[in-house]
Amino acid sequence: MAVAKQTSQQPEFETLSRTQILIAMGLTAVLLLVVAKVWLRLDPTPQLPLRWNSLDLLWGLSLGLVITVCSALLYQLWPRYRMAADWYLQLILKPLVWSDVPWLGLLPGMSEELLFRGVMLPALGLNWMGLVASSLCFGVLHMSSWQQWPYVLWATTIGFALGYSALVTGNLLVPVTAHILTNIIASMTWKWLYQRQSESPS
């Protein structure tokens, strides 16, 4: 993976500070958790459980690594996705320091999985229709502009993989683990490459 220098074709955005990014992450996580709780009160469908199981933990770690490898390949092979991913990651990651990276894994990994796979998927149906619908909603959550559609498409695909893992295992631990691991590896890789590129002589 390499950090693309295609900012001229990317949508303009106002640079956010580290504090603004962290507050936005925290508020988004709280909002998603509130939506999940309200949904559970309005809909009696039981949510998918999160049970500790060493085998399911290994499945989650394996799925996270597979998603990471596929994302890296897509980044190399599809320039439009690379540009969209760089724009999104630069917006989120550039202001943050290394100690913030775990929060990029934990906050979205827990809150998004609870809502989309834990609550929404069972409510829409533990079947292909529910899987597709919840994956599309997950993809739309990652849309910052129409120009970022390749990133949204990939997020939808990841949502499908995470949802399928929840369907097969019946344990929210698998998608939560995969989501957290994927976010952390992607964030650390991007920050390392960006830092190395910034320090290299032009």
DSSP calls for 157-200: HHHHHHHHHHHHH--THHHHHHHHHHHHHHHHHHHHHHHHHHHS
Element (H, E) at 105: helix 101-113
Domain membership of residue 44 (yes or no) is no
Domain membership of residue 111 (yes or no) is yes
Domain membership of residue 51 (yes or no) is no
Domain membership of residue 133 (yes or no) is yes
Domain membership of residue 183 (yes or no) is yes
pLDDT of residue 3: 40
Rounded to whole angstroms, how far apart are CA atoms 36 and 29?
11
pLDDT of residue 77: 96
CB distance 175 to 113 below 8 Å: yes
Judge residue 200's burial from the number of C-beta atoms within 10 Å of its C-beta, 0-12 exposed, 13-18 middle, 19 or more buried: exposed
24 phi and psi, to 5 degrees?
-60, -40
Instruction: State the sign of the Cα–Cα–Cα–Cα dihedral 19, 21, 24, 29.
Output: negative
* Structure tokens belonging to residue 69: 């490898």
pLDDT of residue 195: 78
Tokens 């609870």 belong to residue = 114
pLDDT of residue 197: 79
Task: Name the residue range of residue 170's domain.
Answer: 56-199
Domain membership of residue 6 (yes or no) is no
3 state DSSP class of 201:
coil
Domain membership of residue 14 (yes or no) is no
Query: 67-112: per-residue pLDDT in tens?
Result: 999 999 999 999 999 998 888 888 889 899 999 999 999 999 999 9
In sequence order, what are the residues at sequence separation of 6 or more whose Cβ sits closer than 8 angstroms to the Cβ of residue 142?
88, 148, 151, 152, 155
Domain membership of residue 193 (yes or no) is yes
Number of separate domains in the chain: 1
* Structure tokens belonging to residue 95: 């202001």
pLDDT of residue 198: 73
Which residues of the chain are modeled with pLDDT < 50? 1-9, 11
